[in-house]
Amino acid sequence: MQKQYTIGVDLGGTTITAGLVDENLKIIEKVTCDTNLPRPSEEVEQSIAGLCRQVAEKGGVSFDQIRWVGIGTPGSVNGPEGIVEFNANFGYNNWPLAANMQALLGCRVYIENDANAAAYGEYIAGAAKGAKYAVAITLGTGIGCGVIIEGKIFSGYNHAGAELGHMVIVNDGRPCMCGRKGCWEKYASARALTEDTREAMRQHPDNMMWGLVGGDLSKVNAKTAYDGMRAGDPLATEVVKHFTDAVGCGLTNVVNIFQPEIVCIGGGISKEGETLLAPVREYIDREEYARDSNKRVTLKTAQLRNDAGVVGAASLGDQAGY
Ligand SMILES: [Zn+2]
């Protein structure tokens, strides 16, 4: 029998990536292009179609061996109907992405929110493999989240669910672009850690972290405070503790709500590994409601990193209910 493949597309605000994925959920080939926003949705569709054909060709696979194409896109995505209902970054509303791509490619097309697709990737082939109840968190500019319940992506009644980054952890706290104050991502994203590190440095012009960035605040990133902590600096240690407590506070809420078997954390900062995870685990162990249960959540780093979105999107057709 002819081998079968799927294609997963990670549609981002800056780049579009398409990956050719085999039956073992391994990425065989990957191609990327710029998203080039702002431009009309028809042009973005043409770019996606071009990448899909290109990646199949690069992998030596004819398009009739492609079982389906899955696309992870930002926004509120009505997966079953194939419509991106709202996407602020792209400026398209009620975008019938699945039907349009199906017409261009001549194969089945599934779509999903990008964070949900990445979580599905970790569930189907990564850190949360086989865990029917799992949560994938990405600490980046904001906090990206995907929730898997009974092996399926949870997205709520209106497909805007699982926005855990906009759960308030400090009442009347820092203002967020969502309109609320004190959202989790204002304290526990990589960007929040970077900004808090800068602020601590501004207040302490003699601090050793200035030396780590050559005196240039624009070179501060989420790793700076961790590097300072490793060098034994008390201020850096305090910044990291503040950040870790914020991650732990939000995650404990998440665990209390979903009681997942696995929570995995991705994003560049997850490279800190146990340095990041151990204190967060301690926080959860101390405060989680079901801490005496013999079934406890396992906290780990995400495995597929940047490939989670592609693998998850490529696997969307496997999701029951589609
Ligand atoms: Zn918010």
Reported as a single tens digit per residue, the pLDDT across 200-259 is: 999 999 999 999 999 999 999 999 999 999 999 999 999 999 999 999 999 999 999 999
Quick one: 137 and 242 in the same domain? yes
Domain count across the chain? 2
127-182 tens-digit pLDDT: 999 999 999 999 999 999 999 999 999 999 998 899 999 999 999 999 999 999 99
Q: What is the mean pLDDT of the chain?
A: 95
Inter-residue long-range contacts of 246-249, CB under 8 Å, 24+ positions, other chains counted: 246/169, 246/184, 246/187, 246/188, 246/192, 247/139, 247/188, 247/276, 247/280, 247/283, 248/279, 248/280, 248/282, 248/283, 248/284, 248/287, 249/169, 249/184, 249/188, 249/283
Find out whether 322 and 110 touch, Cβ atoms under 8 Å: yes
pLDDT value of position 1: 63
Tokens for 123, please give them.
């569930």
What is the average per-residue pLDDT within 299-321? 90
Quick one: 163 and 289 in the same domain? yes
Quick one: 16 and 158 in the same domain? no
Q: How many angstroms does the Cα of residue 246 sit away from the middle of ligand 1?
A: 14
CATH number at residue 45: 3.30.420.40
Quick one: 113 and 176 in the same domain? no
Range of the domain at 197: 129-303
Report d(CA 168, CA 147) in Å as an integer: 18
Quick one: 295 and 160 in the same domain? yes
**Cα–chain center distance at 171:** 25
Local structure of 299: helix, strand or coil: strand
Quick one: 137 and 189 in the same domain? yes
Alpha-helical regions (H) of the chain: 41-58, 97-105, 114-125, 185-188, 190-203, 209-212, 224-230, 234-258, 274-287, 308-314
Quick one: 22 and 86 in the same domain? yes
Q: What is the pTM of this model?
A: 0.93
Quick one: 156 and 229 in the same domain? yes
Residue 172 backbone zone (phi > 0: left; psi -120 to 50: alpha; other: beta): left
What is the average per-residue pLDDT within 6-34? 96
Local structure of 240: helix, strand or coil: helix
Q: How many angstroms does the Cα of residue 124 sit away from the middle of ligand 1?
A: 29
Quick one: 189 and 112 in the same domain? no
Quick one: 159 and 137 in the same domain? yes
Largest CA distance in the chain: 68
Quick one: 188 and 107 in the same domain? no
Q: How many angstroms does the Cα of residue 175 sit away from the middle of ligand 1?
A: 8
Angle at CA 256, nearest 5°, toward 255 and 257? Answer: 90
Report d(CA 209, CA 215) in Å as an integer: 8
User: Which residues, other chains included, contact 58 with Cβ-Cβ below 8 Å and sequence gap of 6+?
Assistant: 20, 29, 31
Q: How many angstroms does the Cα of residue 261 sit away from the middle of ligand 1?
A: 26
Q: How many angstroms does the Cα of residue 258 sit away from the middle of ligand 1?
A: 20
Report d(CA 106, CA 120) in Å as an integer: 25
Q: How many angstroms does the Cα of residue 295 sit away from the middle of ligand 1?
A: 31
pLDDT band at 85 (very low <50, low <70, confident <90, very high): very high
Quick one: 178 and 114 in the same domain? no
Q: How many angstroms does the Cα of residue 44 sit away from the middle of ligand 1?
A: 28
